[in-house]
Amino acid sequence: MGRVIDGRYRVTRHLADGGMGSVFVAIDERLERDVALKVMRADLARDDAFVARFRREARSAARLGHPNVVAVTDQGSDGQYAFLAMELVLGDTLRQLIRRRGPLPVDEALGLMDPILDGLAAAHRAGLVHRDVKPENVLISQTGQVKVTDFGLARAVTTSTLTGDSDILLGTASYLSPEQVEHGSADARSDVYSAGLLLFEILTGEKAFPGDSPIHVAYQHVHGTMPRASDAVSGIPDTVDDLIAQATAKDPDDRPATAADLLVALRTVRRGLESGHTDHTDHTDHGDRRTRALPSDTETTETTETTDAQVDHEPVDAGRSHTTAIHSKTNPLDTRGYQPGENSRRPRRGLSLVVLFLLALLLLGAAAAWAFTSGPLGSTKVPTVNGLAQGSAVERISKADLKARVRQTFSESVAQGKVIRAEPGAGSEQRKNSTVTLTVSKGPERFSAPKLAGSKQAAARAAITKAQLGVGTVTQAFHESVPTGSVISSTPAPGTALKKGAKVNFVVSKGKQPVPVPNVAGQPRAEAEGSLTSLGLKVAYGTEEFSETVAKGSVIRSTPASGANLYKGDSVELIVSKGPEMVQVPRVIDMKSGAAKTLLESQGFTVELDRFFGGLFDTVRDQSLRPGTSVKKGSTITLSIV
């Protein structure tokens, strides 16, 4: 909300969603007026072919100027949005009216179809075919004006075949003509077919061809038999059934050529019903002003005093002029044989009393008529207040001589402070000063997401349930500071306003994440230290040791050993090699063999003796390692003994 489209239309609130896109109320900041802004789906707006068709159809629709057609004032695109600016009609769709009231009486249904066909006829005269006539595309304003909308959009969105978005098609398939199903083609006669289905639904409250899938519904349009409205609702005249049958003929050539032709036929049927020329006699509108002829042996339409003649009385609304049909075996106005006599004169006093009595009756009748029409005992119609602000609705109810009682409830679709519905409903006749209950929206009901961080899992679940929300996805993760089993975080964030039952997800701590000690034996000191610190471990060094197998400066071993589990921040002690231990070779020449061997072995040498001539003198004559050199501890030295 608040977004400005095309630098001109400021979106103020959402009205409805459909298969093609969404409808919003917007302010035309250039002309300072409210408009209905239809924004197409993003995937359609990205289709260059669609945008081109959309513009052509919108321009054609904009050329229509008719009181029963929703005016198109502008079209365009703004980035990813393709939009249509239209006249804002506040009220209900025909779909909402049918759902609320069910089947309508014949006279009301025909009266409703008249402006629908008038609007379609204007389009057909302009060479424009609607292609998507259905209850959702008929709007009824709060003042009762009927308008047809969305001319040409069906052509822009689809080529009228059974491909594409099934969600769009399921709503539309109920009103497709056979030629649209079979060939993907449509002309004015296709709109006539859809209008016939519309009249059937208004009269019966049901679709002519119901079904669970578009394919099934479309098949019935081509091969199914059109039902009679009178089979669903008793009392519908044959002329109305015939009118629907003519409009919904399978062959387009058998239908009226345009909506104007169907309108002529509909008005002919209406005139026939109004004049009483119908096969059914139970469709009497007692509020009508016309004379009704009832069957009789002798019939007169004069209004007069009756004797024992049989009279069919019709309820009469006060203030209306009615003629009552009187049916009698004899004429009550026949004055033959009447001769004035002595009783023909009346005393003046008696005449005055009669005049006064008649005057009193006249005044009483006038008072009664006033009381039951304009007076406090009269009736009034409940005005349309849906969508109005509470104050405006109460004012409108008061102007209709009714009292308003307000109750409030939450609503996901009606803005706060606006009227959701009135009971009794709009248009119903009520006694003056009776009470109308207005249900006013408190706006959408919302519940605050609770704070869960730090709570134990069970407590977190209880807090979510208490807030009238639902537990969503629960995941687990390691955490360096949150104890095991406690909540780390939750989404949506605490304090977020959510619908009742909305899901709240949260993450539970598994405690610190274990860090296995890597094997760093044999690695140079710097490399081993880097391996440990990259895992978050600290490094300590023990006493360096000699090693015959590990090079100087490399790690001999770690404590704890590799594979042990630690946690970030724990220490690992490294023992670093000083390399092999070296010793200096002593001089043992001229020493006795025993003493030389003992000296060398005490310094870590391995001693081997090589005796010449049996070693008669037992004296070291030579040694294999030169005295004074440094060699690895444990080296082998050979002594020559003579």
Active site positions, annotated: 132
Segment holding 639, helix H or strand E = strand 636-641
How is 321-347 classified by DSSP, letter by letter?
Answer: -----EE-SS-TT--TT----GGG---
Q: How far apart are CA 482 and CA 546, in angstroms?
A: 45
Give phi and psi for 226, each to the nearest 5. -65, 120
Cβ proximity of 641 and 620 under 8 Å: yes
DSSP tag of 254: G
Q: Tokens 């274990």 appear where?
A: 514
Beta strands, E only, 563-612 = 565-567, 571-579, 582-584, 606-611
Cβ proximity of 504 and 448 under 8 Å: no
Instruction: Please calculate the CA angle 140-145-151 and round it to the nearest 5 degrees.
Output: 65
Q: Tokens 């009736």 appear where?
A: 379
Cβ proximity of 133 and 198 under 8 Å: yes
Q: How far apart are CA 355 and CA 434, in angstroms?
A: 39
Count, residues in the chain: 642
Instruction: Please calculate the CA angle 290-293-296 and round it to the nearest 5 degrees.
Output: 160
What's 134-181 look like in SS3? CHHHEEEECCCCEEECCCCHHHHHCCCCCCCCHHHHHHHHCCCCHHHH
- Our CA dihedral for 603, 607, 613, 614, rounded to 10 degrees, sits at 90
